[in-house]
Structure 1
Amino acid sequence: ITEDMKNLAYELLKKCAGLPLAIIVLGGLLAVNEWKTIHEKINLHFSDKSDVSKVLALSYDDLPWHLKPCFLYLSSFPEDAEIPATKVLYMWIAEGFVLLNAYDKEREISVEEVAKQFLTELVNRGMVQVRFNLSGKIKSYHLHDLMRDLCVSKALQESFLSILNIQQDNETENCSASMAIKVKSNCKIRRLSLYRNVIPSLKASRRTLVHLRTLMSFGGVEWELKHFQSMFKDYKFLRVLKLENLLDMTENLPKSVGDLVHLRFLSLADSRFNGLPQSMGNLVCMEFLDLLVKSYVKVTMPNVLWKMKRLRYLRLPYKFDIKERFHGGWKKLRLETLKNLRTLRNFSMKECDVNDVGKFTNLQKLTVRDNFGPIELDIFWQLAEFNLKHLRSFSFYFGNFLCSWTECELSKMSIYPHSCKLFISGEIERLPEHKSLPQQLRKLVLHNSRLKEDPMPILEELKNLVSLVLMDAFLGKEMVCSAGGFPQLKHLLFGGLYDLEEWRAAEGAVPHLSQLGISSCPKLRVAPSHVSTYDGRDEIFEEEKKCLILP
């Protein structure tokens, strides 16, 4: 670095007023521009006084055209919200923000990969912050408060988005964390986020919402069936519809949802809809469909998903019945035509045909779930025969807290030859030898196993295991790892091991493990000296949510 560059850096840092966010954003600007150019822009537009808001505004102005709508779209989410990584990418795709050029098509780069590149660039510029999961992959995104203020301000200024929020005295306003602007009655609103109980205002704003493309509903919004019927009738150009966490809605989704023929993204996650209409077969443009309502709700589903041939992401409910239009029809959910699927979650052999999986030639992520007995472990044999060359993530969820497993039953899993993750709930009589478990196992979660023998001598022989979670899985006082054990293990969580007092590791064991997450292990006093411990309650809670599906 030259002396001139040092001087420039000093001058630029003064504009940041010591705010870490501004320094990070400035670093992102300098990474993609000449330092002198940024210095000239700041001096041209800003006064000598430091002005953090203008430094942040410059980061937006410097964005290439294709990233600006992607950034503005993040203003749809509430303050301090954790924005799910996968969902926001598919929202961008549904809106048409992510397009493939000739180079992408020639190299067979998917639209999801391009969307990830867009988000990575926003992260590298310091405009979006990320949170990671146990395996080190990006789990969610969020905006710093100051960056969100900028995002909302620009979105409202450019008529990109409207936010309806009841402030006080039932006054409806466009708002952000630090500003409030009246809704313009003559404005054609294309994207709308609803906070709190704003439904009455929708009816009054019907004329300005006919061109609506995105509608997101967040906490506190009280829906009734008549609201949906009106909405589906009036907003026929919707592409993105997010109706999550609607706990008061225990009706069927109205059949008029089938009129939203342009819909590409629909999420009913964590709501309580107990039935879906036959008319959903009209939604042939659908690309992202999340039907994971509350885990205790059993959904009545029409057998029409096979008509959505453009589907790229599908998450099924944990429990559902198939409603046939005609007697003697298909007894299982038809999925065989969905050859564009990249992600399929909560696939069940009881409600679906496993042979359909072999037809999903573009599948990259598959989650198989069988929580309600009898458990059909023959699926390992069938899946091993399929040639899914694009598959990168394969997860199995088996059992519940009422299940019990024999050594022989668990041995059936050894046939699966590819990389996978395994979640097992229920009491385990005895673990099989490590050779009788999948040899490419990357993650193992044992929940409510209540093992009497130390599981470490067997599990440490799994050479590819990266993540291990033990929740109420062992009743003993001591666990011991031998030299060379767990050669790849990086993540280890103990939860609910109430009698465990010592976990010892010989020299050379767990060489890549630096931290142990602990929750509800009150007697644990001894751990390897090179491994520090931390409070793993949040991570244990997240893992437990995945396993706790009531029969």
Structure 2
Amino acid sequence: MDVAKAVLDKCDGLPLAILAIGGLLASKDVSRIDEWEKILRSLGGELEGTGELERVRRILSLSYNDLPSHLKPCLLYLSIYPEDYLIECNMLILLWVAERFVEWREGMSIEDVAWGYFSELVSRNLIQVIGVFYEGLPYTCRIHDLLREVILIKSREQNMVTITTGQPMTWPSEKVRRLVLHSSSNSSNIQYHQQRQFYSFEHLRSFITVTSTNPLLSKTFLCEVLRSSKLLKVLRLKGEEIEETPNEIFNLLHLTYLNLYGTKVARVPRAIGKLQHLEYLNLGDTGVRELPVEILKLLKLRYLIVFQRVDPSDDDYGFHGFKGPSKLGGLLALQVLRTVDASSGSVILKEIGKLTQLRELYITQLRREDGKELCSSLVNLTSLRQLSVKSIGKGDDHEIIDLNHHQHSLSSSSSCSFLQSLHSNWSGLRAEEDPLESLQHLPNLGEITFCGSYQGERLCFKAGGFLKLKELRLRKMEGLIWMAVEEGACPHLRTLVLDRLPSLVDLPSGIQHLSHLQELGLYEMSSQLMEKVGNQKEDSEDYRRMTHIPEIVIGFYADDGEWRIRRLWGKKKKTILA
């Protein structure tokens, strides 16, 4: 069509402009010529004679103007992030929800609606997905620098976001609604920022720091903001050098979102009970180990994230959970609960069984004798998607869940039928307790991590089992000497990670049956196995068994003690979390 060519000619061969036009067309009926003509008229003659960058900016501006009303604030909100910043998609979704940009839809969770918004912006080529989870859900994303320039201008025009780096500036409006702090390395800028006397925060709704340990955030300035922002709803201080929760926070009676992740806070005051509109509370990677009973007053709380990291190098077992009040089951709105310390016994597990809206549950310090109580509670959790369970302690004789003993409740319960992700660490199941027997027929299980979860010598994935499994990680199983995958098992497995299995000297038998396997990771494995994998002679049996795998990566400690990663072959096309 001539009109289609005319539209493309407006892009002048510029890739980003073509992508933006493609995004515009994604929401149109491209078979109708009037849709093309409408876009051509929108571009008009204003692009004639403009430079390349200005041409792209104007096309991106048109892309923004073409957005439906519910997507415009979501896109403008991305202006809070610095240039080239890698954005955590889930955190962005939660902020959209907290800012009330997302409308409820019948039959859908508010987060699922927000993910729909995100997908629309991706389909319009306004957001670029960088990393994905095993099920294809975006993990990280970013926006193009030129698009950021466009939305920064529009954000200022609409007084949506005020960004400060500490440089002398004039506020775009006396009514600052969302204040975002970006760090600055200029000490004079910091001094100017902290000494400035005039701030008008009575209309402030959100206060956000984006980069960790922001030098702009003095205690005096923070207290001043909190003291004068009675209507504040969103407070994100992730990674800041804060040793105790400012008392001013507990007077923010409209607060719905509080993120103190990675701060040095070690105690939660009883005054937390005053924040009765709070829906999201993140105290992850802090020193908090116990919550006061007043937390039970937060009946709107949907996300409760509390854990203490004790060994940053150990993602499997390097953290502690929190000890909650005995009536934790009263927080009926909870959807995400991590990480509960269950060492006190079965009472807390019974309470968890009352939280029927849970989608994610993380438990640590679970005793073997309480495994039955946990399984009984899981039966009630019909919305559960992600489950992580860790035992009472590495190296102890305690074992978590006798999976075979509770096989019926696990495999037949409606809760586990929706389970998508399972992490089991240090359960130490004996050789006669096959951990796969009760899991292989769960219809939606897409990811499994076993860390020290099995003491046996043999592990077999049987034909017809794990039909939706896409990622499998086996770690720290010292006794495992043989592993097999029968034909017809794990037909959609994409990522297989074998990590610190010192007795395994051969590749899994039947690995050639995993026709969809995209990545094989071998970390700190036996020298015999590493030697076999490293033998890339085309006539060798091991080579023929793994030649269908696009990417094979091995990790090991070299003689000099340094950790090394070696890619045998292949190059990733997308970032998959390992």
What TM-score do you get using the length of structure 2 for normalisation?
0.77
Q: Deviations over 1:344-374 (max 9, x none)?
A: 33234346733333433433x1213114767
Q: 1:30 is aligned with what amino acid? A: L
Counterparts in 2 of 1:311 and 1:227: CA distance versus 1, 3 Å: same
Q: CA deviation at 1:497?
A: 4.8
Q: 1:165 is aligned with what amino acid? A: T
Alignment equivalent of 2:332, drawn from 327, 330, 339: 339
1:356 is the counterpart of 2:355: no
- Paired position in structure 2 for 1:240: 234
Native 8 Å contact 1:254 1:277 kept in 2: no
Partners of 2:475 and 2:13 lie apart in 1 by 44
Partners of 1:304 and 1:42 lie apart in 2 by 58
- Paired position in structure 1 for 2:177: 190
Q: 2:127 is aligned with what amino acid? A: V
Map 1:302-451 → 2, pairs under 5 A? 302-318=292-308, 319=320, 332-350=325-343, 353-363=348-358, 365-371=359-365, 376-386=370-380, 388-389=381-382, 391-399=383-391, 401-403=394-396, 409=402, 411-412=404-405, 414=407, 415-417=409-411, 418-419=416-417, 420=419, 421-426=421-426, 430=431, 432-433=433-434, 436-439=437-440, 440=442, 441-448=445-452
Q: CA deviation at 1:52?
A: 1.4
Counterparts in 2 of 1:478 and 1:507: CA distance versus 1, 3 Å: closer
Partners of 2:436 and 2:204 lie apart in 1 by 56
Of 424-433 and 41-50, more deviation after overlay is shown by 424-433
- Paired position in structure 1 for 2:470: 466
Partners of 2:191 and 2:290 lie apart in 1 by 27
Partners of 1:278 and 1:507 lie apart in 2 by 55
Native 8 Å contact 1:288 1:312 kept in 2: yes
Unaligned runs of 5+ in 2: 29-34, 185-189, 309-319, 535-541, 556-564, 566-571
Q: 1:233 is aligned with what amino acid? A: R
Native 8 Å contact 1:253 1:273 kept in 2: yes
Q: CA deviation at 1:264?
A: 0.9
Q: CA deviation at 1:225?
A: 4.6
Alignment equivalent of 2:98, drawn from 65, 75, 94: 94
Partners of 2:321 and 2:363 lie apart in 1 by 13
Of 260-269 and 305-314, more deviation after overlay is shown by 305-314
Q: Deviations over 1:184-221 (max 9, x none)?
A: 38632111111226586266265322221111112231
1:289 is the counterpart of 2:307: no
Q: Deviations over 1:130-188 (max 9, x none)?
A: 2311232222332122222222232123322111114xxxxx15xxxxxxxx3238632
Q: CA deviation at 1:72?
A: 0.9
Native 8 Å contact 2:307 2:322 kept in 1: no
Counterparts in 2 of 1:349 and 1:424: CA distance versus 1, 3 Å: same
Partners of 1:370 and 1:112 lie apart in 2 by 26
Partners of 1:402 and 1:60 lie apart in 2 by 56
- Paired position in structure 2 for 1:40: 41
Percent of residue pairs bearing the same amino acid type: 25
- Paired position in structure 2 for 1:259: 251
Q: Deviations over 1:467-499 (max 9, x none)?
A: 211234356676443333333433312334567
Native 8 Å contact 2:79 2:155 kept in 1: yes
Partners of 1:110 and 1:68 lie apart in 2 by 21
- Paired position in structure 1 for 2:201: 209
Of 337-346 and 407-416, more deviation after overlay is shown by 407-416
Alignment equivalent of 1:12, drawn from 7, 21, 40: 7
Counterparts in 2 of 1:87 and 1:407: CA distance versus 1, 3 Å: closer
Partners of 1:356 and 1:199 lie apart in 2 by 50
Native 8 Å contact 1:408 1:432 kept in 2: no
Counterparts in 2 of 1:228 and 1:207: CA distance versus 1, 3 Å: closer
Native 8 Å contact 1:291 1:316 kept in 2: yes
Native 8 Å contact 2:162 2:171 kept in 1: no
Partners of 1:385 and 1:477 lie apart in 2 by 34
Counterparts in 2 of 1:471 and 1:46: CA distance versus 1, 3 Å: same
What TM-score do you get using the length of structure 1 for normalisation?
0.80
Q: 1:143 is aligned with what amino acid? A: I
1:143 is the counterpart of 2:143: yes
- Paired position in structure 2 for 1:269: 261
Unaligned runs of 5+ in 1: 167-171, 174-181, 323-330, 545-551
Native 8 Å contact 1:309 1:340 kept in 2: yes
Partners of 1:508 and 1:535 lie apart in 2 by 17
Partners of 2:283 and 2:292 lie apart in 1 by 12
Partners of 2:68 and 2:522 lie apart in 1 by 45
Partners of 2:507 and 2:8 lie apart in 1 by 48
Native 8 Å contact 2:177 2:206 kept in 1: yes
Partners of 1:434 and 1:498 lie apart in 2 by 20
Q: CA deviation at 1:404?
A: 5.5
Native 8 Å contact 1:346 1:368 kept in 2: yes
Partners of 1:79 and 1:333 lie apart in 2 by 46
Native 8 Å contact 1:406 1:430 kept in 2: no
Partners of 1:58 and 1:305 lie apart in 2 by 47
Aligned pairs, how many? Answer: 505
Partners of 1:483 and 1:360 lie apart in 2 by 39
C-alpha RMSD of matched pairs (Å): 3.5
Q: CA deviation at 1:32?
A: 2.0
